[in-house]
Amino acid sequence: MVSRGGILLRRLISSIYFELILAGGLVMCAPVASAQQTWHVQVGAEIRYQAKQADAFFPDEIWIYVDDSIKFTFSPRSEDHTVTVLETGRARPLFSGPAPNAATYVVKLPTAGNYKLACPAHPDMNGVVHVMQHTDSAAAFYAASLPYDQFDYDHQAAVEMGDLLARKADPSEGVREFPPSENVVLMTGEVVVDAEGGQYLAMVHFLPRTIRIHAGETVEWINTDPMLPHTITFGPEPMNLKTLVTAIPGPDGAPQATINSPMDGVSSGFLQSAAQDRTFLPESAPGATRLRVKFTRPGTYHYIGGLNDANGEVGAVIVLP
Ligand SMILES: [Cu+2]
């Protein structure tokens, strides 16, 4: 049996307890109010005059709170990126990307969880977003405060961007790698992979830009980039750049063609290495990474890399008698 005094005491205690919870709640709520914040992630970077493109999320791993937003800013003018936020096991896209030519894209994440950031245009351009729940549970890591603030991410972004753009992707490596031939044009790039995913460095120019051969000889274009496609087009561009025009796959899968006049149209389709294989998924087909074109008559033959011509990826074959 409980006395009246006992009941009053319990009320008093529970009232104090309630106020403590409120006070605690206020303390815990303080970061909540300020935490509905917008984080900034840069998508891609470039050095135009060096024809270098860094295709990556900067930073590529970020911790935020539920209901925070991420504002993605697309900086490159010469490479299109999209942003897709993927939940594990879900078919893409959970969030569709921005409208074409959008300068920014804001995504709000209302549910706690770990999400993958992807740019479907660049299959291994990935990142991770950790959306943390506000909780007072001591077991919840980072519940009280997130591991990094925007200043830290800006610093990480600048370092990663600098690292990637400073890489050489030295075309002479490719020349050393393949037996020297006077008739080879290279396209190069690199992929840097860390725990969160891939970051690309793409060199969007032909090496050499102008090549001189004699009538009857064949030029071979080789895309040594481990990931990104390039195309070679003489004459009008096909609507779909993946379409082979005139060229026919040779015995080793590389498309081959003959050009008899500067009016002839040839398009290579995507010259691209095969996608990475993953356990328990069907093997992907080997990619065609080379195009061979025989030139029968003297003349100057201009061509473009249809995916990057706006960025200056154009070339010429000068055929001497
Ligand atoms: Cu991209």
C-alpha 80 – ligand 1 centre gap (Å): 6
Q: What is the pLDDT of residues 83-141, one digit of tens each?
A: 888 877 766 665 567 776 788 999 998 888 888 888 877 877 888 898 888 765 545 55
Confidence of residue 202 (pLDDT cuts 50, 70, 90): confident
If one counts every other C-beta atom within 10 angstroms of the C-beta of residue 20, the result is 10
Among the listed residues 90, 83, 79, the one whose alpha carbon sits nearest the alpha carbon of residue 129: 83
pLDDT at position 178: 58
What does the alpha-carbon distance between residue 71 and residue 150 come to, in Å, rounded to a whole number?
Answer: 12
C-alpha 121 – ligand 1 centre gap (Å): 5
pLDDT at position 38: 96
Q: pTM of the predicted model, to two decimals?
A: 0.69
Q: Is 289 in contact with 222 (CB distance < 8 Å)?
A: yes
All domains of the chain, ordered by start, with CATH? 34-166 (2.60.40.420), 183-198+205-320 (2.60.40.420)
Residue with tokens 């790698």: 177
C-alpha 249 – ligand 1 centre gap (Å): 29
Q: What is the pLDDT of residues 152-168, one digit of tens each?
A: 999 999 998 888 888 76
What does the alpha-carbon distance between residue 308 and residue 202 come to, in Å, rounded to a whole number?
Answer: 10
What does the alpha-carbon distance between residue 223 and residue 231 come to, in Å, rounded to a whole number?
Answer: 9
What does the alpha-carbon distance between residue 212 and residue 189 come to, in Å, rounded to a whole number?
Answer: 24
C-alpha 100 – ligand 1 centre gap (Å): 13
Asked whether the predicted pLDDT for residue 10 surpasses 70, the reply is no
C-alpha 124 – ligand 1 centre gap (Å): 9
C-alpha 132 – ligand 1 centre gap (Å): 26
If one counts every other C-beta atom within 10 angstroms of the C-beta of residue 114, the result is 12
Q: Is 45 in contact with 52 (CB distance < 8 Å)?
A: no
Asked whether the predicted pLDDT for residue 311 surpasses 50, the reply is yes
pLDDT at position 179: 52
